[in-house]
């Protein structure tokens, strides 16, 4: 297979690697292990041990991009404010942002403030890379087992996994999934010959409101198609009447 047909990515992960020398060492080890002369994407795995270390690592990643040793640079596990702070000092803004992304968590988990991660990335010209689009973590119920997802999949003659992956693509994200099962891997590639309607997209996105909590709130841009907020207000009003 030609190298041009592969998309190879790696991350700067360890706290000790968040420096100019550390980034260079990480890349050298990655290129040697993969047997290639460049990476398509190099990411910061987290915000890092400190702001100064993050900025030093990012500046070196920008230099590697200029040198052609990496084609694109991005982040992983950054929040909305983290992304904005990095853009403010970057010469090359993050081109990708890898984050937990499925209908339950459409951005950083534990989003108590209801930050609009996808909207912020779109305005910053950054592609969201969705990891764990099917599994439960950190929730109890996996999106792939959600009855609403199953109903849409049944109507379309697709699997729940295909519906979720297609939803992510139509939201503008690059979706990452994996399996040890060859059949499931093949299934994951069969998502380009159908499209979800605007109604189904809204129903899937609206699932975020069904898992709302004090620790996690959907962004205001996610339409509450299930009327969760209206029910909550009605319940609050009812409780107040009882107290009176």
**3-243 under CATH 3.20.20.100, yes or no:** yes
List, as own/partner pairs, every contact residues 6-10 make where C-beta atoms lie below 8 angstroms and the sequence separation is at least 24, other chains included: 6/40, 7/40, 7/41, 8/34, 8/36, 8/39, 8/40, 8/41, 9/39, 9/40, 9/41, 9/42, 9/43, 10/34, 10/39, 10/41, 10/42, 10/43
Predicted local distance difference test score (pLDDT) of residue 234: 86
Report pLDDT digits (tens) over 112-169.
Answer: 999 999 999 999 999 999 998 998 887 788 999 999 999 999 999 999 999 999 999 9
Predicted local distance difference test score (pLDDT) of residue 241: 56
Report pLDDT digits (tens) over 31-76.
Answer: 999 999 999 999 999 999 999 999 999 999 999 999 999 999 999 9
């Amino acid at each position: 297979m030609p190298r041009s047909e592969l998309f190879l990515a790696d991350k700067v992960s360890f706290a000790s690697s968040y420096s100019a020398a550390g980034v260079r060492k990480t890349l050298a080890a990655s290129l040697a292990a993969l047997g290639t002369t460049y990476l398509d994407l190099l990411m910061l795995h987290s915000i890092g041990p400190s702001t100064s270390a993050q900025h030093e690592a990012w500046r070196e990643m920008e230099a590697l991009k200029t040198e052609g040793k990496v084609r694109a640079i991005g982040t992983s596990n950054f929040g909305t404010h983290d992304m904005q702070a990095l853009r403010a000092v970057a010469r090359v803004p993050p081109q990708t942002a890898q984050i937990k992304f499925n209908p339950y968590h459409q951005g950083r988990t534990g989003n108590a403030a209801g930050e609009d991660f996808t909207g912020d990335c779109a305005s910053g010209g950054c592609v969201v890379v969705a990891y764990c689009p099917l599994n439960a973590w950190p929730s109890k119920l996996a999106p792939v087992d959600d009855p609403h997802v199953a109903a849409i999949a049944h109507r379309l003659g697709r699997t729940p996994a295909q519906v979720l992956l297609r939803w992510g693509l139509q939201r503008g994200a690059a979706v990452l999934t994996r399996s040890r099962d060859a059949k499931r891997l093949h299934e994951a590639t069969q998502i380009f010959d159908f499209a979800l309607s605007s109604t189904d997209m809204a129903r899937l996105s609206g699932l975020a409101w069904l898992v709302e909590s004090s620790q996690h709130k959907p962004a205001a841009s996610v339409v509450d198609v299930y009327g969760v907020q209206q029910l909550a207000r009605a319940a609050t009003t009812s409780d107040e009447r009882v107290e009176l």
